[in-house]
Structure 1
Amino acid sequence: MDTLRRNNVSVAGRTDGPVLLLAHGFGCDQNMWRLIVPIVAQDHRLVLFDYVGSGQSDASAWDERRYSSLEGYAQDVLEICEALDLRDVTFVGHSVSAMVGVLAAAKAPHRIGRLVMVAPSPRYIDEDGYRGGFDADDIDELLESLESNYLGWSAAMAPVIMGNPDRPELGEELTTSFCATDPDMARVFARTTFLSDSRGDLKTVTVPTLVLECEQDVIAPREVGAYVHATIPGSRLVTLKATGHCPQLSAPQATAGAIGDFLGAAL
Structure 2
Amino acid sequence: MLCVRFRGTMDAWDPLFLDSLAARGFEVLTFDYSGLGQSTGERTYSPASLARDAIDLVVGLKLGKVVMGGWSVGGMAAQIVLAKAPQLVSHAVLIATTPPGPLVKPGEPLFYTLARRENDFEDFVTLFFEPADPASRAAAERSARRLAERTDDVSPAVPFEWAGQQLGDGPQNPVFPADAVLHALKSTSVPVLHLGADHDIVFPVENWYALNGQLPTLHLVTLPRTGHGPQLEYPEASASHIAAFVGSDEQAAP
The normalised TM-score by structure 1 is 0.73
Residue 223 (structure 1) aligns with? 206
Q: Look up the SS of the partner of 2:126 in the other structure.
A: helix
Instruction: State the alpha-carbon separation in 1 of the partners of residues 231 and 45 from structure 2.
Output: 26
Instruction: State the alpha-carbon separation in 1 of the partners of residues 146 and 166 from structure 2.
Output: 16
Aligned equivalent of 1:237, options 220, 233, 238: 220
Q: From the superposition, tell whether residues 173 and 62 of structure 1 become closer, same or farther in structure 2 (CA, over 3 Å).
A: farther
Instruction: State the alpha-carbon separation in 2 of the partners of residues 194 and 50 from structure 1.
Output: 26
Q: Look up the SS of the partner of 2:246 in the other structure.
A: helix
1:147-186 superposed matches below 5 A: 150-151=117-118, 154-155=119-120, 157-165=123-131, 166-167=137-138, 169=141, 180-186=157-163
Aligned equivalent of 1:55, options 29, 37, 40: 37
Which is richer in helix? 1
Residue 235 (structure 2) aligns with? 252
Instruction: State the alpha-carbon separation in 1 of the partners of residues 204 and 127 from structure 2.
Output: 12
Deviations 1:162-215 (A, max 9, x none): 2243235368679999x9322354235545x96532463233121110111123
Q: Look up the SS of the partner of 2:28 in the other structure.
A: strand
1:114 equivalent in alignment to 2:84: no
Deviations 1:113-158 (A, max 9, x none): 210111121369xx6x721234xxx38x927x855xx32xx34643
1:133 equivalent in alignment to 2:103: no
> Aligned partner of 2:31: which letter?
F
**Number of positions where the alignment pairs a residue of Structure 1 with one of Structure 2:** 229
CA contact (8 A) 1:133 1:219 kept: yes
Q: Look up the SS of the partner of 2:106 in the other structure.
A: coil
Instruction: State the alpha-carbon separation in 2 of the partners of residues 160 and 216 from structure 1.
Output: 10
Structure 2: where are the runs of 5+ without partners? Answer: 132-136, 149-153
Structure 1: where are the runs of 5+ without partners? Answer: 1-20
Instruction: Tell me the CA shift for residue 227 of structure 1.
Output: 2.9
RMSD over aligned Cα atoms: 3.3
1:28 equivalent in alignment to 2:8: yes
Instruction: State the alpha-carbon separation in 1 of the partners of residues 130 and 161 from structure 2.
Output: 29
CA contact (8 A) 1:164 1:244 kept: yes
The normalised TM-score by structure 2 is 0.76
> Aligned partner of 1:209: which letter?
V
> Aligned partner of 1:39: which letter?
S
Q: Look up the SS of the partner of 1:48 in the other structure.
A: coil
> Aligned partner of 2:127: which letter?
I
CA contact (8 A) 1:120 1:225 kept: no
Q: From the superposition, tell whether residues 169 and 69 of structure 1 become closer, same or farther in structure 2 (CA, over 3 Å).
A: same
Q: Structure 1 residues 166-175 or 72-81, which shifts more? A: 166-175
Instruction: State the alpha-carbon separation in 1 of the partners of residues 124 and 53 from structure 2.
Output: 26
CA contact (8 A) 2:7 2:163 kept: yes
Which is richer in strand? 1
Residue 78 (structure 2) aligns with? 101
